[in-house]
């Protein structure tokens, strides 16, 4: 009996999988062929095709790019799944090859791609009565066959195959970590399972009768990536921002909690669908640990919070050197996962224990602990809920919901990494010359009154208008205020209370005077902290 047969037999003992018959999926011949080969700087890249499945009388064939160092034999390998399930490009296969891997990236069987099949996989998270008819199913079959392709190649050590991906690619990486027992590591640059708990596709427009409890239960019992994780021993990691647009924190936390093998979290405060370059690198460092034998990541314990002294503590262990620690805290009821503000406080490290005292606040909140090692890699605890630390205090501590980008000189990286527009900057001031400029994102605590403030430098007198605009459970809300500017420094402020919503976002639109440009600085969005101590 082959190793693969043993793995599949072990995987399928007991209840049959509700969607995937692995034995049947993996049985047909691959009929793999190389269409074209090129070489650049010692990296060989092949354009290949292989058979995925028969859909009725239709043969679904997968196009892929396969890169490896010239002359390679029995290397560790991984499949890279593109963000947005975009068509395969040489970038990630070549990146993997430069890191010493044989790397495969497929065109999913999506309309207009080089693969055949034509399933609208990335048009939304859809599911009918039969999960085998869902577009997502066919993408998973293609990835199962992609791993089979790697197993056939002399460049690959078939006992050291992993998978990684971004966004939609992270969703599929999570799914495959639970589904394919041949994988020895999985690394997700955003993307997760447990989507029934809330996500961008189903929950941004308010209640949707099509996504009722029955639909969500059907999803969770058939195609959701978390379904199979508890029985999987594949090491899996998630790297994401706390405010990801598509994959909300409760889903990330539940995916992590249910993973049955070694697991890891890196959570960046206030980041949306982007990571810093160091955390980008850590995505692949996780593969290095489990496919190449690199030093293990630090392991962190869950955080404990003690109400008596507001102490948050967690422990860590492992061969890497921890150099700093911090606590991430966000206030208010569950929800507003994309728009909520996260505060960061330093934590002390002593004898592999991290500790910090939570601030006084009359609202409950959520907390995350993070350790940073000497490479800048982040190791985060799961998110925990805590009660109000002082019911006589203001609702929340002081913070600035624009702090990610408002320093003009130092925080342009945040905007650039998120693909957001930047303004010309000089001496800490941004220049607004267009008819309108949009600033954001602005983060907040839902239901708490806030004030938008800014410094405006004008060369001539005129009228400037600020519009605070956002979507709250699919309903647009916009408030506007005009300010008479003097030909000097001007301090402006505008009150705004973001409504409570499951899905929320907020931006500031600045309309300058007709007579010319103005300079903008010290932009902030601060909670009103009346009452309390």
pLDDT in tens, the chain (533 residues): 454 554 455 444 446 899 999 999 999 999 999 999 999 999 999 999 999 999 999 899 999 999 999 999 999 999 999 999 999 999 999 999 999 999 999 999 999 999 999 999 988 888 999 999 999 999 999 999 999 999 999 999 999 999 999 999 999 999 999 999 999 999 999 999 999 999 999 999 988 888 999 999 999 999 999 999 999 999 999 999 999 999 999 999 999 999 999 999 999 999 999 999 999 999 999 999 999 999 999 999 999 999 888 999 999 999 999 999 999 999 999 999 999 999 999 999 999 999 999 999 999 999 999 999 999 999 999 999 999 999 999 999 999 999 999 876 656 889 999 999 888 887 778 888 778 899 999 999 999 999 999 999 998 999 999 999 999 999 999 999 999 999 999 999 999 999 999 999 999 999 999 877 899 989 999 999 875 43
- 10, with CB counted inside 10 A (0-12, 13-18, 19+), is exposed
The DSSP annotation for 28-71 comes to S----EEEEEEEETTEEEEEEEEEEEEETTEEEEEEEEEEEETT
Does 217 map to a domain? yes
CB-hemisphere CA count at 13 Å for 32? 16
**386 phi and psi angles, rounded to 5 deg:** -135, 155
Note whether 144 and 275 are same-domain residues. yes
| Total domain count, the chain | 3
Residues making up the chain, counted from first to last: 533
Give domain status of residue 399, yes or no: no
Spatial distance between the Cα atoms of 346 and 356, rounded to a whole number of angstroms:
7
Please state, in angstroms and rounded to a whole number, the distance separating the CA atoms of residues 342 and 268. 10
171 and 29: one domain?
Answer: yes
Within-domain flag for 516: yes
Residues 75 and 217 in one domain: yes
pLDDT at 3: 43
pLDDT value at residue 207: 83
Within a domain: 402:
no
Q: What is the pLDDT of residues 514-532, one digit of tens each?
A: 877 899 989 999 999 875 4
- pLDDT tens sequence across 375-398: 999 999 999 999 999 999 999 999
CA-closest candidate to residue 35, choices 107, 142, 86, 96: 107
pLDDT of residue 320: 98
Cα Rg of the chain, angstroms: 25
Domain membership flag for residue 395:
no
Instruction: Please state whether the predicted TM-score (pTM) of the whole model is above 0.75.
Output: yes
Same domain, 138 and 232: yes
* 9 within a domain of the structure (yes/no): no
In terms of Cα–Cα distance, which of 450, 510, 519, 504 is closest to 480?
Answer: 510
* 340 and 419 in a common domain: no
For residues 142 and 225, state if they share a domain: yes
56 and 91 co-located in one domain: yes
CATH value at residue 310? 2.60.40.10
Q: Is 90 exposed, middle or buried (0-12, 13-18, 19+ CB in 10 A)?
A: middle
Domain boundary among 294, 318, 349: 294
CB atoms within 10 A of CB 230: 12
Containing 324, the helix (H) or strand (E) segment is strand 322-331
- The pLDDT score that the predictor gives to residue 227 is 97
Structural domain of 357 = 300-386
340 with 358, same domain: the answer is yes
Laid out side by side, the sheet with 518-527 consists of: 425-426, 429-432, 518-527, 450-458, 489-496
Q: How far is CA 63 from the centre of its chain?
A: 27
Is residue 77 one of the residues assigned to a domain? yes
Please tell me the predicted confidence (pLDDT) of residue 515.
72
**Pairing state of beta strands 156-166 and 186-189?**
parallel
Helix (H, G, I), strand (E, B) or coil at 304: strand
């Amino acid at each position: 009996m082959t190793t693969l047969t043993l793995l599949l037999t072990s995987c399928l003992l007991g209840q049959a999988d509700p969607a995937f018959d692995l034995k049947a999926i993996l049985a047909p011949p691959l009929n793999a062929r190389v269409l074209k080969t090129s070489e650049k700087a010692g990296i060989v890249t092949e354009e290949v095709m292989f058979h995925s499945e028969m859909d009725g009388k239709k043969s679904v064939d997968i196009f892929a790019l396969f890169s490896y160092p010239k002359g390679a034999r029995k290397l560790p390998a991984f499949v890279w799944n593109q963000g947005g399930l975009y068509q395969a490009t040489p970038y990630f296969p070549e990146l993997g090859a430069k890191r010493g891997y044989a790397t495969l990236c497929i065109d999913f069987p999506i309309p207009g791609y080089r693969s055949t099949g034509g399933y609208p996989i990335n048009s939304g998270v859809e599911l009918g009565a039969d999960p085998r008819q869902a577009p997502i199913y066919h993408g998973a079959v293609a990835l199962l066959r992609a791993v089979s392709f790697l197993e056939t190649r002399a460049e690959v050590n078939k006992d050291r195959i992993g998978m990684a991906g971004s966004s939609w690619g992270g969703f599929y990486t999570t799914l495959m970590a639970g589904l394919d027992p041949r994988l020895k590591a999985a690394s997700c640059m955003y993307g997760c399972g447990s989507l029934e708990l809330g996500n961008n596709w189903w929950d941004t427009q308010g209640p949707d009768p099509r996504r009722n409890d029955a639909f969500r239960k059907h999803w969770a019992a058939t195609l959701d990536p978390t379904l199979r994780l508890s029985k999987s021993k594949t090491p899996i990691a998630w790297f994401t921002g706390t405010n990801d647009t598509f994959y909300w924190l409760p889903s990330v936390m539940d995916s992590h909690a249910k993973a049955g093998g070694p697991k890891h979290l890196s959570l960046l405060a206030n980041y949306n669908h982007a990571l810093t370059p160091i955390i980008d690198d850590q995505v692949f460092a996780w593969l290095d640990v489990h496919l190449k034998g690199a030093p293990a990541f630090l392991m962190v314990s869950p955080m404990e919070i003690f109400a008596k002294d507001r102490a948050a503590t967690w422990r860590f262990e492992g061969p890497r050197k921890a150099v700093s620690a911090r606590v991430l805290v966000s206030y208010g009821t569950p929800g507003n996962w994309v728009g909520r503000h996260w505060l960061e406080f330093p934590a002390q490290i002593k004898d592999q224990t991290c500790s910090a005292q939570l601030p006084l606040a009359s609202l409950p909140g959520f907390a995350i602990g993070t350790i940073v090692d000497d490479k800048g890699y982040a190791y985060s605890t799961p998110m925990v809920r805590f009660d109000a630390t002082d019911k006589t205090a203001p609702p929340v501590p002081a913070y600035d919901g624009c702090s990610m980008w408002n320093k003009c000189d130092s925080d342009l990286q945040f905007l650039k990494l998120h693909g957001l527009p930047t303004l010309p900057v000089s001496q800490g001031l941004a220049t607004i010359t267009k008819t309108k400029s949009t600033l954001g994102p602005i983060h907040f605590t839902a239901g708490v009154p806030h004030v938008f403030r800014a410094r405006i430098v004008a060369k001539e007198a005129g009228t400037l208008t600020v519009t605070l605009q956002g979507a709250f459970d699919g309903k647009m809300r916009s408030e506007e205020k005009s300010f008479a500017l003097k030909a000097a420094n001007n301090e402006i402020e505008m009150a705004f209370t973001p409504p409570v919503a499951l899905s929320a976002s907020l931006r500031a639109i600045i309309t300058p005077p007709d007579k010319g440009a103005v300079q903008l600085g010290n932009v902030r969005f601060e909670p009103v902290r009346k009452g309390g101590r």
